[in-house]
Structure 1
Amino acid sequence: MKRYLIPVLVAISVISCKQENKEKNVAADSQTSSQNSNSQKTYAEISVKEGGQWEGREYMNGEFKNVESLEVPQEHTDHSWYIRYEGPGWENQQVGYRLYLDWRNAIDIFGKKVDTLVLPFVGQDGFDSYHENADWGQDILKAGKSMGIGGYGRYMNDTVAHFRNVNNTKARVNNSEGSSTVSINYEGWSTGTDTIDLEASLSIFPEGRFTKAELTPSKEITGLTTGIVKHGPELMTGTSDNGEWAYIANYGAQTLVNDQDNLGMALFYKTKQLDRQIEGTDDHLVIFKPTTKTITYYFLAAWEQEKDGITSEDEFKTHVAEVLEELNSNTLK
């Protein structure tokens, strides 16, 4: 049996036992999982309901089951109750992320207070229970109408077009000893007068809070964009010594937890792929030049409640500078 399946098996065991205090058991059970599979440092999953039925846009009844790949049903949209925590998730021991696999296509953050893998337990005891404080942590970012952190869309007519018109969407997860990846193929994504296919890859590694994002469009279009949701903190920018990489970032009170809880977010991009960096309605935007080559960028989140985490703006700035230097020296994966 492959080692990366162990967290999923532990999760199934927890559900079948119907333990009354599931939130308290998350930290203990994920610790057991970590001890049983010391090499498992990253994890990605997608979990869908089986055994129920569609009633319009909602999937009723059924139980969640993890799958390696998924072709998204035409009925599926936001709040269909079909995909556990609404899309694929990926994590390492420091942070977790999820992508809304519907028209919103935003990326959200799971803040973690433990240094073990927790995604198999998230959303198992109520569809949106992860919005509430738990021993493992919680969903900490309000995406709203934005792309969240590192999500992607197309900037046109002074707004961001998300993924309302897609012929078919396929998602797959892959776990290996050195990384975990979510791959998504959007077939026939229509915006304005253009229709393209888009391949997206989102990878997380054992070390670091960052996700590596890779976007490959089937044809050149203007306005392909990513960004960071705007929640008030002042935007910070910087460029690497060799000028090949740059970043946008912010730090401050911008979480769902309370109005004093601090979160840092950063997005790193290749300057040669940049068309412009602007302020959108809901996001700090990085807009890329038209291309059919793969666009690569990185994003990261640092929550002050992490175990041994970053707890000040100065520490966050230092961390961002360190990641930028790693990109500058080509030592990041």
Structure 2
Amino acid sequence: MKQIAILPIVLLSLISCKEKKSQQITESEVVAEVKETPKTYAEISIAEGGKWVDGPKGHMEYSGGTSFKNVNELQVPKEHTDHSWYIRYEGPGWENAEVGYRLYLDWRNAIDIYGKKVDSLVLPYVGQDGFDSYHEDAPWGQDILKAGKSMGLGGYGRVVADTMVHFQRVKDTYAKVNNTESSSSIYITYTGWETGNDIIDLKSKLTIYPQDRYTKAELTSSKAIEGLCTGIVDHGVAFHKKEGETWAYIATYGVQTLAHPADNLGMALFYKLDEVAEQKKGDYEHLVIFKPTTETVTYYFLAAWEQELNGIKTEADFVKDLDTKLSTLNSTNSIK
């Protein structure tokens, strides 16, 4: 596996001109580092040096952690839940030059967005200077999505009797990361996921590539169940839907970020028409509900923030970009 070496190049994007001069970094060193810096990155980082204790909110918390360390794989502790201060930014993260994402590796299982103002890799520094400092505006960007009770963007759960069920009851959760020269992936295995009258195992693979903003999502269920779904959080902005011959997309665009003041964000989901039973509005998100199957279902999701470097600035340009991707999917069955 290629070694990840990103510290100098990330710092070059974030430090001031005065700091650059003081470090006396030579042009040859910069060029060498750029060549070694990967174009995508994924990580899971856990706290160490502390211990699990009873927390004030009625669940266990990891207290007294002295630092974070990255791991290639993680058997999620039984004690871990939301806001238990154990996993840095609460789950795995993945990014390329344009955008970053993270998944809450707890009962919520939502996917959040890191809007980026720089074109370097930043995740190793997110959440290091205060557990949730990434909610605040920084030179690199910030967490820009309020997921609330939804699945966020491209998260997954199950609709049972018109109610969204997340991952409140799971026997075991295991995650690992894989970084290569051509992509970065998060693999998650949920064993004994209980929803309604069913108990299944679910495997998830989330992959980001060097180009563009999208993540490819692949879900594989051990049992064909109704209601397995994904979606986009509904913030009451413009909604778009378009169907092609074999693929379709839903998307939202408008002022729907956590930035101050809030600004424009576009979010989209691409899905195969023959894999989907229904697309409808749920309580908290625009839903895409898959047909029961044990075959792998595939979809793509993406976010486009207007503060990106060379980002998409208008709704018309966002829809144009989605239409181009939809055409590519319908002709080649892949965006990549």
Matched, 1:81 2:80: no
Question: 2:221 corresponds to which residue?
Answer: 217
Bigger mean CA offset, 153-162 vs 212-221:
153-162
Q: Distance in 1 between matches of 2:87 and 2:312?
A: 32
**Does the C-alpha gap of structure 1 residues 129 and 326 become closer, same or farther in structure 2, counting only changes over 3 Å?**
same
Map 1:191-230; keep pairs closer than 5 Å.
191-230=195-234
Q: 1:178 aligns with which of 174, 179, 182?
A: 182
**Does the C-alpha gap of structure 1 residues 198 and 173 become closer, same or farther in structure 2, counting only changes over 3 Å?**
same
Question: 1:262 corresponds to which residue?
Answer: 264
Question: 1:19 corresponds to which residue?
Answer: none
The answer to whether the Cα contact below 8 Å between 1:110 and 1:139 also exists between their aligned partners in 2 is yes
Q: Distance in 2 between matches of 1:199 and 1:163?
A: 13
The answer to whether the Cα contact below 8 Å between 1:24 and 1:134 also exists between their aligned partners in 2 is no
The answer to whether the Cα contact below 8 Å between 2:8 and 2:33 also exists between their aligned partners in 1 is no
Q: Distance in 1 between matches of 2:190 and 2:159?
A: 17
Letter of the structure 2 residue corresponding to residue 230 of structure 1: D
Q: Distance in 2 between matches of 1:82 and 1:279?
A: 34
**Does the C-alpha gap of structure 1 residues 296 and 46 become closer, same or farther in structure 2, counting only changes over 3 Å?**
same
Question: 1:95 corresponds to which residue?
Answer: 99
Question: 2:33 corresponds to which residue?
Answer: 36
Q: Post-superposition shift, 1:332?
A: 2.4
Matched, 1:45 2:43: yes
Q: Post-superposition shift, 1:158?
A: 1.5
The answer to whether the Cα contact below 8 Å between 1:139 and 1:256 also exists between their aligned partners in 2 is yes
Q: 3-state SS of the aligned residue for 2:201?
A: strand
Deviations along 1:76-123, one digit per CA (max 9) or x if unpaired, are: 000000000000000000000000000000000000000010001100
Q: Distance in 1 between matches of 2:101 and 2:30?
A: 20
The answer to whether the Cα contact below 8 Å between 1:186 and 1:199 also exists between their aligned partners in 2 is yes
Q: 3-state SS of the aligned residue for 2:286?
A: strand
Question: 1:318 corresponds to which residue?
Answer: 320
Question: 1:303 corresponds to which residue?
Answer: 305
Letter of the structure 2 residue corresponding to residue 265 of structure 1: M
Letter of the structure 2 residue corresponding to residue 319 of structure 1: D
Normalised to the residue count of structure 2, the TM-score between the two structures is 0.90
Map 1:288-299; keep pairs closer than 5 Å.
288-299=290-301
Q: 1:231 aligns with which of 225, 231, 235?
A: 235
Q: Distance in 1 between matches of 2:33 and 2:107?
A: 38
Deviations along 1:180-237, one digit per CA (max 9) or x if unpaired, are: 0000000000001100000000000000100000000000110000000000112100
Q: Post-superposition shift, 1:258?
A: 3.3
The answer to whether the Cα contact below 8 Å between 2:49 and 2:64 also exists between their aligned partners in 1 is yes
Which sections of structure 2, spanning at least 5 residues, go unmatched? 55-59
Question: 1:60 corresponds to which residue?
Answer: 63
Matched, 1:244 2:246: yes
Matched, 1:128 2:125: no
Letter of the structure 2 residue corresponding to residue 228 of structure 1: I
**Does the C-alpha gap of structure 1 residues 88 and 304 become closer, same or farther in structure 2, counting only changes over 3 Å?**
same
Letter of the structure 1 residue corresponding to residue 197 of structure 2: T
Q: Distance in 2 between matches of 1:182 and 1:4?
A: 17
Q: 3-state SS of the aligned residue for 1:267?
A: strand
Q: Distance in 2 between matches of 1:326 and 1:95?
A: 21
Which sections of structure 1, spanning at least 5 residues, go unmatched? 15-21
Q: Distance in 2 between matches of 1:256 and 1:288?
A: 30
Q: 3-state SS of the aligned residue for 1:6?
A: coil
Map 1:7-26; keep pairs closer than 5 Å.
7=6, 24=15
The answer to whether the Cα contact below 8 Å between 2:2 and 2:179 also exists between their aligned partners in 1 is no
Q: Distance in 2 between matches of 1:34 and 1:197?
A: 46
Deviations along 1:242-298, one digit per CA (max 9) or x if unpaired, are: x10000001100000135400000000000001001100000000000000000000
Q: Post-superposition shift, 1:34?
A: 8.5
Q: Distance in 2 between matches of 1:258 and 1:180?
A: 31
**Does the C-alpha gap of structure 1 residues 136 and 195 become closer, same or farther in structure 2, counting only changes over 3 Å?**
same
Q: Distance in 2 between matches of 1:195 and 1:132?
A: 39
Question: 1:6 corresponds to which residue?
Answer: 5
The answer to whether the Cα contact below 8 Å between 1:34 and 1:116 also exists between their aligned partners in 2 is no
- The aligned length equals 319
Normalised to the residue count of structure 1, the TM-score between the two structures is 0.91
The answer to whether the Cα contact below 8 Å between 2:4 and 2:38 also exists between their aligned partners in 1 is no
Q: 3-state SS of the aligned residue for 1:315?
A: helix
Letter of the structure 2 residue corresponding to residue 275 of structure 1: A
Q: 1:286 aligns with which of 274, 283, 288?
A: 288
**Does the C-alpha gap of structure 1 residues 33 and 135 become closer, same or farther in structure 2, counting only changes over 3 Å?**
farther
Letter of the structure 2 residue corresponding to residue 186 of structure 1: Y
Deviations along 1:16-67, one digit per CA (max 9) or x if unpaired, are: xxxxxx9757x989x9888614351000000001121001311012210000
